[in-house]
Amino acid sequence: MQWITLTTATFCILIIFLIKKMKISNNKKIQKDGLVHICQIKRIIIFAQQHRGLTAAWLNGDTNAEAKLTGIKKLISQEINSLMLSPVAKNERWAAFTDHWGRLLSFNNKSSVSNSFEQHTMMIKNLAYLLEDTAENSHLTADFLPKINNIGYVWRELILTTENIGQSRAIGVSVAVQQCCSSVDKIRLNFLIQTMAKTTIDTLQRLSHLPEEQHTHTNLVKKATESMNKLIEVMTSELVGAAKVAIDSNQYFELATETMSKMNDIFDHQVKQLNKVI
């Protein structure tokens, strides 16, 4: 009888161990799949930001932008198709995105630049929230990732910060082309300057890193901060504060794009670290 009791207890312990192991394995799969989907959504955001700028250029009469727009549309279409059968497609924000994207594709050259900007910006913000939802649904949060416990800043603040820079790029290029900063543009740019400055002081310093990635992380944050500060200085002195806007639009575009790239480098490094711990 004692032998049977001992055998039963051992069997129960084994079952509990196997169930726990299966749960851990299933959780890791959810996390890994989720990270892949997050990177796909991030690429759509990057392409949508490029599409916003190119559409503005096209509406302003830049005929060279049309071919580039065609290429961006194909890239977005590929990412959409790759996510259609994923859990992401069950999110109502995904349905809102695909509907919004379909309507943006119907824009013609008689559409207004301001309306195009607003519509793109609304769509990108929805994508940012979709990315955050996907992170939560994929267990890629601080509760599941004690080694990278500030990961939430990556899924929200870092994404929205990069988008703020994207907005400053779109507005700033338009201002530089017109060589005039309207009162509306000044209000928009001043708001973005304040938001971006807060990010430099706050959000970037809160991002987590693994001990072995400290040097790389510190270097990436340093470069992003320097680039952000330079962009803010140019926005303040050359756009908002200038009696007459004289900065070259291509020069400003490159500066803003470089700053976005530095932020994307931080995002990519966070993803690299996540792949180490999941």
- pLDDT at position 107, please? 78
**Residue 225 and residue 161 in contact, taking contact as beta carbons nearer than 8 Å:** no
Residue 257: CB atoms within 10 Å:
17
- Which tokens in the block code for residue 41? 């959504």
Residue 205: CB atoms within 10 Å:
12
Give the Cα-Cα-Cα angle 223, 227, 228 (nearest 5 degrees): 115
Greatest CA separation found in the chain?
A: 95
The dihedral formed by the CA atoms of 268, 270, 271 and 277, expressed in degrees to the nearest 10: 150
- pLDDT at position 106, please? 84
For the residues of 206-261, what is the DSSP string, one character each? Answer: H----GGGHHHHHHHHHHHHHHHHHHHHHIIIIIIS-SS--S-HHHHHHHHHHHHH
Q: What is the DSSP letter of 107?
A: -
- pLDDT at position 186, please? 97
Q: Give this prediction's pTM.
A: 0.88
- pLDDT at position 200, please? 84
> In which residue ranges of the chain is pLDDT below 50?
18
- pLDDT at position 187, please? 97
- pLDDT at position 15, please? 59
Identity (one letter) of the amino acid at 135? A
**pLDDT tens digits along 126-169:** 999 999 999 999 999 999 999 999 999 999 999 999 999 999 99
**Residue 129 and residue 97 in contact, taking contact as beta carbons nearer than 8 Å:** no
Closest residue by Cα to residue 253 from 175, 160, 158, 186: 175
